[in-house]
Amino acid sequence: MNRVFFLGPQRFRPTLVATLDRIGVEGTVAAITAGWQEREQEVGELQDHIHRELINLRLYERAEEVFAEDAELRDAVHERQQWLREEQSLYRRRLAHTLNAAREVMTLDGRDRFVREHRQAAIRAVRTLDRQHLTRVRRIHAEFEERMKPSRRPAVAAQREQLQEVIGAASAVAIAGGHVAVLLNRLRLFGFAQLLADRVVVAWSAGAMALTGRVILFHDRPPQGAGDAEVLDAGLGLVDGIIALPHARRRLDLDDPVRVALMARRFSPDLPALLDVGSEFVYDGSWRPGESARKLSRRGGVVEFKHS
């Protein structure tokens, strides 16, 4: 069984080393920083922080090497990404209307049966749309896997063999944040759902998002648009039952009970976990609170997450 730790952002108050110390990780830590893209190699601060040997798995660079070697796969990945973008764009158009309706009904006064039923129906409509989108996204991935069988292609298989060896020798895998789609695509390309099985994994920000069953993009106050949280993709699914919300205090309007309640109910029964600075959530078959573990409540506030 996996032991997985989700942490808050690490830039200003890193807590990774405290987690590694506490859980008894003494050996090498394999690091994934592919979300940093062209800065992937700049792991100096991370290395200094953890006081342990660190091996950078270089997934961003490895993927570039694979694409340079296997043009057919590269083109197929580009085509898949194009399909995914188109699907996301169509979903987003419908989502805007469905979410607006849900927000409007949720702001209505009244606890009578009619208002309650309409509220539930409006949220159900959003959940249905999310589910349909995720089904289509999964289908795009499944068709790609079926057609290209990336794990059997020599360029991928060779990299994957090396990665398996390094990860097998490491005491833990640390996955940093960054660009969540870039990170997730690399993890998927190299089969990390299997490579991380039964490993100790510590992840933060986009790293945490990529390991869940659903990757949710969110920002309540963007400079453009309504700030409609959206399902991007199925994550690796290494852990389930959680929605990872990094930088929640900065990205969410936690003082708006309608937005908070809608977010919590929309993704229920998953735990809407606030991954702010200093927070920690622990998974060992089920989710347990670590330091400063808080979540969104269905009533529209922020509450401490307690193990049930």
Partner 1 sequence: MSSVLDRFLDQTPGGETIDAFLSGRTFPILEGDRVTFVFRGRADAVNLRHWIFGLPSSQPFERVDGTDLWRLTLDLPECSRVEYKIEHIEGENRQWLMDPLNDRVAHDPFGANSVCYGRGYKTPPWVLPDEEARPGAMEQFRVISKVYRDRREIGVYLPARYRKRRRYPLLVVHDGHDYLRFADLRRVLDNLIHRLEIPPMIVALTTSPDRLTEYGADPRQADFLADELIPAMNARYPLIDRPEARMLMGASFGAVAALSAAWLRQGVYGGLLLQSGSFAFSDIGKHGRGPALDPVARFVNAFREDPGHPCDKVFVSCGIYESLIYENRSLVPVLQGAQMELRYVEARDGHNWENWRDRLREALSWLSPGPLWMVYE
Asked whether position 39 contacts partner 1 by CB under 8 A, the answer is yes
Asked whether position 223 contacts partner 1 by CB under 8 A, the answer is yes
Q: How far apart are CA 221 and CA 124, in angstroms?
A: 24
Neighbours of 135 (CB within 10 A): 10
Return the residue of 13, 38, 198, 306 that touches partner 1, per CB under 8 A. 38
Segment 144 to 203, residues that bind partner 1, using CB under 8 A: 177-182
- Reduce the DSSP state of residue 295 to 3 states and report it: strand
Nearest-approach distance from CB 88 to partner 1, in angstroms: 10
Return the residue of 93, 198, 224, 306 that touches partner 1, per CB under 8 A. 224
237 phi-psi bin (left φ>0, alpha ψ -120 to 50, beta other): left
Q: How far apart are CA 196 and CA 12, in angstroms?
A: 28
DSSP character for 14? Answer: -
Return the residue of 15, 56, 159, 205 that touches partner 1, per CB under 8 A. 205
Part in contact with partner 1 (CB under 8 A); list of ranges 6-14, 21-29, 152-160, 164-172 = 6-14
Nearest-approach distance from CB 205 to partner 1, in angstroms: 4
Return the residue of 191, 246, 289, 300 that touches partner 1, per CB under 8 A. 246
Nearest-approach distance from CB 292 to partner 1, in angstroms: 18
Nearest-approach distance from CB 135 to partner 1, in angstroms: 22
Nearest-approach distance from CB 109 to partner 1, in angstroms: 27
Angle at 270 between CA 210 and CA 282, to 5 degrees: 65
Return the residue of 3, 74, 127, 219 that touches partner 1, per CB under 8 A. 219
Considering beta carbons, is residue 153 or 227 the nearer one to partner 1? 227
Nearest-approach distance from CB 147 to partner 1, in angstroms: 26
Considering beta carbons, is residue 277 or 293 the nearer one to partner 1? 277
Following CA atoms 221, 223, 224, 230 in sequence, which dihedral angle do they give, to the nearest 10 degrees? -40
Considering beta carbons, is residue 223 or 285 the nearer one to partner 1? 223
Q: How far apart are CA 186 and CA 58, in angstroms?
A: 10
Nearest-approach distance from CB 270 to partner 1, in angstroms: 17
Considering beta carbons, is residue 12 or 114 the nearer one to partner 1? 12
Total residues contacting partner 1 by CB under 8 A comes to: 22
Structure tokens at 7: 């942490």
Asked whether position 11 contacts partner 1 by CB under 8 A, the answer is yes
Asked whether position 7 contacts partner 1 by CB under 8 A, the answer is no
Return the residue of 110, 222, 237, 241 that touches partner 1, per CB under 8 A. 222
Following CA atoms 66, 70, 72, 76 in sequence, which dihedral angle do they give, to the nearest 10 degrees? 0
Angle at 65 between CA 170 and CA 58, to 5 degrees: 30
DSSP character for 228? Answer: -
Structure tokens at 299: 């009533």
Considering beta carbons, is residue 105 or 185 the nearer one to partner 1? 185
- Long-range contacts (CB closer than 8 Å, 24 or more residues apart) made by 87-96: 87/133, 87/136, 87/137, 87/140, 88/133, 88/230, 88/232, 91/129, 91/133, 91/136, 91/230, 91/231, 92/228, 92/230, 94/129, 95/126, 95/129, 95/228, 95/230, 96/226, 96/228
Which residues would be at the binding site for partner 1 (CB under 8 A)? 9, 11-12, 35, 38-39, 177-182, 205-206, 209, 217, 219, 222-224, 246-247
